[in-house]
Structure 1
Amino acid sequence: MASWGKLTFAQKKCVTATGKLMQKTDMVSHGARIGVAASGGVDSFLMLKVLTIRKAIMPFPVELMALHVNAGFDPTSHAPLVDWCADHGISAHIELTDYGPRAHTEENRKNSPCFYCSMLRRKRLFELCREYNLTHLAFGHNADDNVVTFFMNILQNGRADGLKANDAFFGGELQVIRPTMLLDKATVKKAAAQWELPVWENTCPSNGSTKRDDIHEWLRLAWKGDKRIKHNVFNAITRQQVDLTSKKV
């Protein structure tokens, strides 16, 4: 039996779907150094766990490094991630910032707190990738995130575009990847609970009251009572975004 033990249906689905997407989009290659953006939420923690398994399965060597930029609402919230990475032999960079509180002050006059904080954290993640000579930066976005982003872009930007599974940044020096983009949120949560991942609560005062949350609720009401609508929407948008970055054969 493999070192990670017998997998449940949800866990196996996570590992298999992630591998399928990584192969279809030619996501990583020999010697890839992957920075895993680990916020501590269920999505990124699940991705980190799955990538440790995929790393052992891959026919070539890759390196993983967890990157956590604490927004500053709770300076000790990342302790479970530190312990988990130590137990699993994963190197990590943990950094405490004041981005979250700053996003809720007069410093941020034009944007929502969520957008401003996210922008600062992503900028820092890019800097860390350069400092550690990482070739990839992995985000734990799932199929639900892809669908919501697609409709946010339509409604707010007039653009029919979601999340790319594999996207080149800085002239190709860094690949931004989303290995778990084929997974629905329900499967992610179920597998994470079965693995008993030490996910912690998001204590941001704006959590649950963002424009993204509003659009997610609007979509939930749109397909309420007819699962076919949700299924068709997810399939259509997922296929479109994955096809954008699939390797040509």
Structure 2
Amino acid sequence: MTKLAIIGGTGLNKIPDLEITHREVCHTPFGEPSAALTHGRIAGSDVVFLPRHGATHTIPPHRVNYRANLWALHHIGVDSVIGVAAVGGITSEMAPGRIVIPDQIIDYTFGRDHTIYEKDLQHVTHIDFTYPYCQQLRQRLIDAANSSGVGCVDAGTYGATQGPRLETAAEVTRMERDGCDIVGMTGMPEAALAREFELCYASCAVVANWGAGKQEATISMKDIEKNLILGMEHVRKLLTILLRETV
């Protein structure tokens, strides 16, 4: 039974080291997942890969069916999930190209389906979300980053925004005052839904650009793509080390 899944974000539509064994189409009570689940092996370990934005990267952050994605992974027996995501850097340590393993999150999203507990309820369910990420999986990511020579920022607060537009400079300034270190568009409700499904979940964030207003120039998609090429190569090295150590 597969235990670990990787939800890939922008820049990680495919994993070159993934030896594909089969693909599985899942139908869920919450609709269709972003894509078929790709089963395979990396470094001798079984893993499932799911592209968050679809097989051809056509699903924007606010339209991702997070509930269906997490339901499908839980349904096939996954118990640990790594969510890879591209983010913007806010605080000085979060420079483009860095890998960040966040330990907290602030949710600025709206209108998304944030819970599986909303229909035909016998009681109201509240999850403890004091620490939104699985500490054990976070530590495995940190150790793998250090072992691979890639290194990482081992803590930080992820500010989750609605998207798909990028933020204004004033919004990023507000987020920094709130305590955010990085900003992205897919961190929530993915993390909270994983907790509802009792999945061990951690985020591996790649800083693709400085947040709005953190540099004089406007944000360039060309620069983002360049930073993601390097950042995602680091993620692949990190994931290979992590999976090798689970064999």
TM over 0.5, shorter chain: no
Larger radius of gyration: 1
- Between Structure 1 and Structure 2, the one with more helix by share is 1
TM-score of the two chains, using structure 1 as the length reference: 0.31
TM-score of the two chains, using structure 2 as the length reference: 0.31
- Between Structure 1 and Structure 2, the one with more strand by share is 2
